Structures are given as C-alpha cells and as structure tokens.
C-alpha cells in the first residue's frame, strides 16, 4: 500500500468517482480508498485526488503526482517530502 522512497512515499489508491463528497475512506485491500465527488472525465477525478491529498497532507499540490493508472480507478501516487508515518498520521490512518 505505502512504500517509502528516497524522495517521499508511493501509495496505491482505489478511487470511487461521483461520490456524494470527497474524502479518504480508509483502506480496501492493499490500497487507500478515496471517494471523489468529481466525475472520471477529462482528468477531473485525478485533479480532485491531487487536491484532496494536498489539502489533507498540508503540502503543495505540485508535490503529488499520479505515476500510474491515470485512466483507471486503481492508481499509484507519489508524494514528495513526507514519510510513511507522516502520511498516515495526516490522513488519520493507523500505522
């Protein structure tokens, strides 16, 4: 799910678009479960995912990149400048 790298962390994310509201909903299997109010059209859900994570982590959006699955519900996200512990703490998830 979350792997530390030399620059930050890489996270597996399962996205559920067109949800009632955008929020981190915990885990599903090995992935972080994120519900997004945005539709999966023209990158809207990807942008909403980056904005949500940036807001929850208190980091600039430019520090978050979707590195895999940009057209899939299952995504791989890189977050620069945070540790695994900081990432989990910021999202209110247990280690």
Q: What is the pLDDT of residues 25-58, one digit of tens each?
A: 999 888 999 999 999 898 999 999 999 999 999 9
The strand pair at 74-80 and 23-28 is best described as unpaired
Task: State pTM to two decimals.
Answer: 0.94
How would CATH label the architecture of 2-91?
A: 2-Layer Sandwich (3.30)
41: exposed, middle or buried (Cβ count in 10 Å: 0-12, 13-18, 19+): exposed
| Placement of tokens 């990149």 in the chain | 65
- Domain boundary assignment for the chain: 2-91
Instruction: Report which of 82, 84, 74 is spatially closest to residue 46, judged by C-alpha positions.
Output: 74
Q: What is the pLDDT of residues 69-88, one digit of tens each?
A: 999 999 999 999 999 999 99
Structure tokens at 81: 């400048």
Which H helix or E strand runs over 13? strand 8-16
């Amino acid at each position: 799910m979350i792997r530390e790298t030399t620059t930050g962390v890489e996270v597996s994310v399962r996205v559920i678009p067109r949800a009632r509201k955008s929020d981190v909903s915990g885990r599903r299997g090995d992935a972080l479960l994120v519900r997004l109010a945005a539709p999966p059209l023209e990158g809207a859900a990807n942008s909403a995912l980056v904005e949500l994570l940036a807001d929850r982590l208190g980091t600039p959006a430019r520090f978050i990149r979707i590195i895999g699955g940009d057209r899939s519900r299952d995504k791989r996200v890189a977050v620069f400048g945070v540790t695994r512990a900081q990432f989990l703490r910021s999202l209110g998830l247990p280690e």
